[in-house]
């Protein structure tokens, strides 16, 4: 059974497509209205201005990130496996929709979407805490470990987005580097180091 999108949802889909194709400059309430085929005033019934519309796009993207983080636990054999899936899917989203990814942090840096950012962070923290309880990650402050994971993965995504602007080739493989990083903070890395020291 097909679900008919509301006018607001149609406007949001159109705005997201415009963003993907041409960046924030391409997203105007008039252009969005034209895409959907409504009057020039119709978008203003749902969004105050362009900033409000861009925030709505970023909010949807943040919610998608959070849903991926929550769902990762059900698709992995272990909490650490769920963390790896979540990291990989975040990088995939950043690659597939680079302009949405940039918008997330542009809006956040301006003080918007705090609740959505908090929800995404808490989802990461829940994965970290589960991995710690399973003995798969080092003990310690789960908030700090989560902050390091988030900042590292975001940095890797940004480096990939910069492409060939002089970055060493090793910095362009976000997937390999993110998995390497997760292995560094996994407990088995510590156990392997101890075993090697004894040989």
Whether 196 shows a pLDDT value over 70: the answer reads no
- pLDDT at residue 192 in the model: 43
CA distance 108 to 118: 11
Q: Which residues of 103-138 are buried (b: 16+ CB within 10 A; e: fewer)?
A: bbeebeeeebbeebbebbbebbbbbbbbbbeeebbe
- pLDDT at residue 163 in the model: 65
Tell me: the pLDDT tens digits for 130-172? 999 999 998 899 999 999 999 999 888 888 777 655 556 655 6
CA distance 13 to 64: 14
Whether 191 shows a pLDDT value over 90: the answer reads no
Q: How confident is the model at residue 12 (pLDDT cuts 50, 70, 90)?
A: very high
- pLDDT at residue 89 in the model: 92
- pLDDT at residue 187 in the model: 73
Identify the bridge partners of residue 186 per DSSP, sorted by sequence position: 137
- pLDDT at residue 190 in the model: 47
Tell me: the pLDDT tens digits for 73-93? 889 999 999 999 999 999 999
Tell me: the pLDDT tens digits for 87-119? 999 999 999 999 999 998 888 877 778 899 899
């Amino acid at each position: 059974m097909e679900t008919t999108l509301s006018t607001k949802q149609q406007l949001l889909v159109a705005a997201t497509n415009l963003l993907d194709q041409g960046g924030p400059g391409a997203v105007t309430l008039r252009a969005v209205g034209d895409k959907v085929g409504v009057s020039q005033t119709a978008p203003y019934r749902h969004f105050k201005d362009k900033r409000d519309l861009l925030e709505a796009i970023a909010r949807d993207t943040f919610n998608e990130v959070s849903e991926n983080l929550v769902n990762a636990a059900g698709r992995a054999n272990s909490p650490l496996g769920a963390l790896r899936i979540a990291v990989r899917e975040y990088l995939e989203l950043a690659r597939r929709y680079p302009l949405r990814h940039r918008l997330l942090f542009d809006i956040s840096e301006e003080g918007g979407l705090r609740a959505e950012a908090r929800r995404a962070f808490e989802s990461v923290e829940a994965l970290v805490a589960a991995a710690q309880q399973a003995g798969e990650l080092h003990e310690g402050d789960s908030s700090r470990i989560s902050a390091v994971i988030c900042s590292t993965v975001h940095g890797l995504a940004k480096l990939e987005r910069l492409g060939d602007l002089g970055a060493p080739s090793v910095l362009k493989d976000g997937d390999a580097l993110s998995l390497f990083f997760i292995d560094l903070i996994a407990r088995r890395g510590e156990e392997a180091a101890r075993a090697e020291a004894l040989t």
